[in-house]
Copies of this chain bind each other. A is one copy, B any other.
């Protein structure tokens, strides 16, 4: 598997088939780990980074999924290839834009990615469509065990796993769930989510995590504490109350729109549809915003001629790097804008 092939297809989490996928786009669990006997990366020499990359790649190869992962080296990878991995949420923006020897191992179905030499020596991530935190946690846990069986992690008997940033110390776990909340946004009720999550020590962020905006009404909900609670407690709080609570808000907002403000709802949905079907130039931001409204329309049965998979695919493939991969060449923002609009028109008319 190479990045070009990856860019053309939809991984598991893009399929939009998981539980509650009308609102829950994806579930992610990641662990931050460091190898005992090596300094944190901020103090590591280039040869220590190289040694870590070699060691961790070997270790990953010897896990049960070792034969089903592909390694990508970031230092030699083309800028577009790194950007594709970011757009698919397989690596962080920091990892793509970083310096020095670093890499990522990605499983066939893209449910697992392991970043080496990002902020920590190792970040183990499982990403699944819909609300599947339990499955994601099982996968990450099994991998973590398989790796720990081969090497020693930096671990402190009282603090737990040691990490480069103190916010990750302890379990090293970050749980994040990507939600699609167009009705709450449309009804101007996102403050309900912000209020509820603040009390639960949960962060609400944009499409690409920390410091990014909520493009296309997508919000990432993630835990803020990694210390003092077990992984299972965090997962079960997310799956049992945090996420269901927000999902309930969004469902209620959708019901209210359908029952009490159908003209407003349809106006948003069909305007988006009309512009997507007709525009000749479109930015990524506008595309996400319009696809978001169309997605809500399809999920609420207001639009029947478009397949939800088409929309889920477009969300990923209309991003800048994916679009350039699709076209097979580097493009200026203006060129992308025209090709993006053209591609969307074609895809939608294929369904329609």
Q: Determine how close the nearest CB of chain B comes to the CB of A290; give it in whole angstroms.
A: 11
Whether the pair B278, A273 counts as a contact (CB closer than 8 A) is yes
Binary flags per residue of A256-287, CB closer than 8 Å to B gives 1, else 0 = 00000001101100110111111111000000
Whole-angstrom distance between the alpha carbons of A139 and B275 in the complex?
Answer: 46
Whole-angstrom distance between the alpha carbons of A157 and B342 in the complex?
Answer: 69
- Chain B CB within 8 A of A341 CB: yes
Whether the pair B263, A338 counts as a contact (CB closer than 8 A) is yes
Binary flags per residue of A320-352, CB closer than 8 Å to B gives 1, else 0 = 000000000000000000100100000000000
Nearest residue (CB) in B for A276 is B274
* Residues of the B chain whose Cβ atoms lie less than 8 Å from the Cβ of A280: 263-264, 266-267, 270-271
Give chain A's interface secondary structure class.
Answer: helix
Nearest residue (CB) in B for A334 is B263
Q: Determine how close the nearest CB of chain B comes to the CB of A266; give it in whole angstroms.
A: 4
Nearest residue (CB) in B for A279 is B271
Whole-angstrom distance between the alpha carbons of A277 and B274 in the complex?
Answer: 7
Q: How many of chain A's residues touch chain B, expressed as a range? A: 10 to 19
Given A263-B338, A338-B263, decide whether A275 and B271 contact each other with a Cβ distance below 8 A: yes
* Residues of the B chain whose Cβ atoms lie less than 8 Å from the Cβ of A270: 278-280
Of B263, B274, B281, B338, the residue contacting A281 (CB under 8 A) is: B263
Whole-angstrom distance between the alpha carbons of A250 and B167 in the complex?
Answer: 62
Whole-angstrom distance between the alpha carbons of A14 and B273 in the complex?
Answer: 32
Nearest residue (CB) in B for A282 is B267
Q: Determine how close the nearest CB of chain B comes to the CB of A92; give it in whole angstroms.
A: 34
* Residues of the B chain whose Cβ atoms lie less than 8 Å from the Cβ of A264: 280-281
Whole-angstrom distance between the alpha carbons of A281 and B276 in the complex?
Answer: 18
Most chain B CB within 10 A, of A267, A270, A278, A279, is at A278
Whole-angstrom distance between the alpha carbons of A266 and B338 in the complex?
Answer: 11
Q: Determine how close the nearest CB of chain B comes to the CB of A87; give it in whole angstroms.
A: 24
Whole-angstrom distance between the alpha carbons of A266 and B273 in the complex?
Answer: 17
Q: Determine how close the nearest CB of chain B comes to the CB of A335; give it in whole angstroms.
A: 10
Whole-angstrom distance between the alpha carbons of A273 and B277 in the complex?
Answer: 10
Whole-angstrom distance between the alpha carbons of A274 and B270 in the complex?
Answer: 9
Given contacts A270-B280, A274-B276, 18 further A-B contacts (CB under 8 A): A263-B280, A263-B281, A263-B338, A264-B280, A266-B280, A267-B279, A267-B280, A267-B341, A270-B278, A270-B279, A271-B275, A271-B279, A271-B280, A273-B278, A274-B274, A274-B277, A274-B278, A275-B275
The 5 closest A-B pairs by CB, nearest first: A274-B278, A274-B274, A267-B280, A270-B278, A266-B280
25 A-B Cβ contacts within 8 A? A263-B280, A263-B281, A263-B338, A264-B280, A264-B281, A266-B280, A267-B279, A267-B280, A267-B281, A267-B341, A270-B278, A270-B279, A270-B280, A271-B275, A271-B278, A271-B279, A271-B280, A273-B278, A274-B274, A274-B275, A274-B276, A274-B277, A274-B278, A274-B279, A275-B275
